[in-house]
Homo-oligomer: A and B are copies of this chain.
Amino acid sequence: MVPDELLDLMRRRRTVRKYQTTPIDEDSLNRIMEAATLPPSSADALPYAFIIVRDEVTKKSIRAGAEAIEKRFHPKMENELKKLIEVKNITAEKPFLTQAPVLLIVAGDTTIPYWLESTWIAVSYLLLAIENEGLASLTYTPSDIDFLRKILDIPRHMSPQVIVPVGHADEEIPPKDTRPEGKIHYERYKN
């Protein structure tokens, strides 16, 4: 792949909060899930599992559970998170959880060393694969995500980490600018 093509993909991949309800192509979903099994991981154990949710009733339960938690959490938010949700106009309503045709739930296997690091490397592979299918995504991490355990029968040793809605975007978000300022240091960390 030409190097700039990968950078373009990374620039185009934006967080999308509005989705069309149109289903996604089955081949696209298969390729996305193939990507999810290709990341490096500690002990090469792929210490995670993906749950593909398309059932409307399940999506409604997930949305209801998430919104109940957000309604309790929003008034308590502080500092960085509070600033972010104000700037982005984020409320406790999470319509994307029922609008997006697919919700991917990623859970990490807490019995494997470095499971958290490995799981988030895999999330990243997912996000890029989703973008490369012309689809949009979001990494949604409710403040308390354990409500998913009951809805999705997630066993105790697996830790639900994130809900990734996948679908066709219903809003247009321009590509990212590169913003390397202050993030890259040479030879030593300099303040």
Contacts and interface: CB of A to CB of B under 8 A. Distances in A.
A24 interface: no
Given A43-B84, A45-B80, A3 B132 contact: yes
A155 B55 contact: no
A35 B50 contact: no
A76 interface: no
A180 interface: yes
Given A43-B83, A52-B186, A190-B153, A10 B35 contact: yes
Interface in A94-152: 107, 111-114, 116-117, 119-125, 127-129, 132-133, 139, 141, 152
Contacts of A28: 3
Contacts of A5: 1, 5
A69 interface: no
A80 B113 contact: yes
A172 interface: no
Contact of A58 (B1, B133, B187): B187
B139 A40 contact: yes
A34 B119 CA distance: 23
B9 A152 contact: no
B46 A185 contact: no
Contacts of A35: 6-7, 10
A154 interface: yes
24 contacts: A3-B28, A3-B31, A6-B129, A6-B132, A7-B31, A7-B35, A10-B38, A10-B39, A40-B139, A44-B84, A49-B185, A50-B183, A50-B185, A51-B188, A51-B189, A52-B184, A53-B187, A117-B123, A117-B139, A117-B162, A120-B120, A152-B188, A152-B189, A153-B189
